[in-house]
């Protein structure tokens, strides 16, 4: 018994010592999206600041595919020592539910929240002036409304499905495009009636008058488009969809390292320079404890599982 006690104590001290020394080698952030996208840009901003803080090389590598699951699985299978970090978005609470044979959410440990990316419902101004016009037309023409999104299970897809059920809109024609650029082009061209666009993507087009923004899907108004009310403000309960970006590591990463990463990333995000940079991207900084992040993920997994079943969403 005494031998096992000493072994356990030795292991605990080893983990604590490793956490104090962390990082001991190059750290890599893995991005599951293309360079230049909001979450990828945030990964690069944070990597640069952590490199300065740690006096250790920090890089960003892109591993694309399967709604971020290719990169996520790569991180999940890596050594759980905090030196390989997944910069993921809210797809983490959707993609594994649609493709559980590829990866389970339990394979990654939430570490630190970074930001939320507001989305706004855009449509052609000739067709709709208000969200009530839009909902009224959708109900009057069941099965005829065409809605584009950035892909099956994407935040833009899930945001619309959540709003649709809240508003009581019947079946629609979903156009699952290859990305955000194609999705908004479908609306501008008139081939699609609507799209929940990322706010920084929508602002210039809305300001030009080519499209109208009817509502914000995020829980609160966007600082970039503060005049656009939320769906909740306009009477649609449980309609908001939280599109977040955050950092995760392999599930068996020692808790002291997870906690240190949370503290260091949170400190970077809350710095005036990084906060300003995130806001320039049309995003809102989001920070909290490891438990806050774990609780948010758990809640979203429950809600998204219900939504996927209700909307009969199937993977490609």
Q: Give me the DSSP letters along 162-200.
A: HHHHHHT----EEEE-SSHHHHHHHHHHTS-SEEEEEHH
Cα gap 43→308, rounded to integer Å:
29
Q: Is the pLDDT of residue 51 over 70?
A: yes
Name the residue ranges covered by the structural domains of the chain.
2-117+243-311, 119-216
- pLDDT tens string 97-132: 999 999 999 999 999 999 999 999 999 999 999 999
Say whether the peptide bond before residue 23 is cis (omega within 30 degrees of 0). yes
CATH for 2-117+243-311, options being 3.40.190.150, 1.10.760.10, 3.40.50.150, 3.90.79.10: 3.40.190.150
State the CATH class of domain 119-216.
alpha beta
List the one residue out of 235, 210, 215, 236 whose CA is nearest residue 225. Answer: 215
Query: What pLDDT is stored for residue 316 in this prediction?
Result: 75
- pTM exceeding 0.85: yes
For range 184-203, the mean pLDDT: 94
Q: Please state, in angstroms and rounded to a whole number, the distance separating the CA atoms of residues 35 and 31.
A: 8
Helix/strand/coil for 247: strand
- Long-range Cβ contact pairs of 20-26 (< 8 A, separation 24 or more): 22/81, 22/82, 22/257, 22/260, 23/54, 23/56, 23/82, 23/83, 24/83, 25/56, 25/83, 26/56, 26/57, 26/58, 26/59, 26/83
| Contact residues for 44 (Cβ-Cβ < 8 A; gap 6+) | 29, 60
Q: How many CB atoms lie within 10 A of CB 285?
A: 19
The neighbouring-strand residues paired with 284 are: 116
* Confidence at residue 239, expressed as pLDDT on a 0 to 100 scale: 95
How far is Cα 131 from Cα 67, in angstroms, rounded to an integer?
A: 30
- Rounded mean pLDDT, 226-241: 95
Q: Do domains 2-117+243-311 and 119-216 have the same CATH topology?
A: yes
Among 314, 304, 235, 298, CA closest to 108: 298
Residues 7-31 have pLDDT tens digits of 544 444 445 555 578 999 999 999 9
At residue 95, the pLDDT reads 92
Percent of the chain with pLDDT over 90: 83
């Amino acid at each position: 018994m005494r031998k096992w006690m000493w072994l356990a104590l030795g292991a605990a001290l080893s983990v604590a010592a490793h956490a104090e020394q962390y990082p001991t080698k190059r750290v890599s952030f893995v991005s599951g999206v293309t360079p230049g996208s909001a979450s990828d840009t945030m990964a690069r901003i944070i990597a640069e600041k952590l490199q300065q803080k740690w006096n250790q090389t920090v890089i960003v590598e892109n591993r694309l595919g399967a709604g971020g699951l290719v990169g996520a699985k790569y991180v999940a299978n890596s050594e759980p020592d905090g030196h390989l970090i997944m910069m993921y978005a809210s797809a983490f609470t959707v993609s594994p539910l649609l493709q559980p044979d590829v990866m389970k959410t339990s394979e990654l440990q939430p570490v630190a929240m970074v930001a939320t990316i507001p989305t706004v419902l855009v449509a052609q101004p000739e067709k709709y002036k208000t969200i009530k016009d839009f909902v009224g037309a959708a109900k009057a023409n069941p099965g005829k409304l065409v809605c584009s999104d950035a892909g099956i299970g994407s935040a833009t897809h899930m945001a619309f499905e959540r709003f649709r059920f809240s508003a009581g809109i019947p079946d629609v024609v979903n156009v699952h495009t290859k990305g955000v650029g194609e999705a908004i082009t479908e609306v501008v061209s008139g081939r699609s009636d609507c799209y929940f666009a990322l706010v920084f993507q929508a602002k210039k087009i809305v300001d030009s008058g080519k499209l109208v923004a009817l509502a914000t899907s995020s829980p609160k108004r966007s600082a970039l488009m503060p005049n656009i009310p939320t769906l909740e403000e306009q009477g649609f309960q449980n309609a908001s969809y939280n599109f977040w970006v955050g950092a995760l590591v392999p599930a068996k990463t020692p808790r002291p390292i997870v906690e240190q990463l949370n503290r260091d990333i949170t400190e970077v995000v809350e710095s005036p320079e990084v906060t300003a940079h995130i806001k320039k991207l049309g995003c809102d900084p989001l920070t909290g404890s490891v438990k806050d992040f774990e609780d948010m993920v758990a809640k979203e997994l429950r809600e998204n599982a219900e939504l996927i079943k209700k909307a009969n969403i199937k993977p490609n």
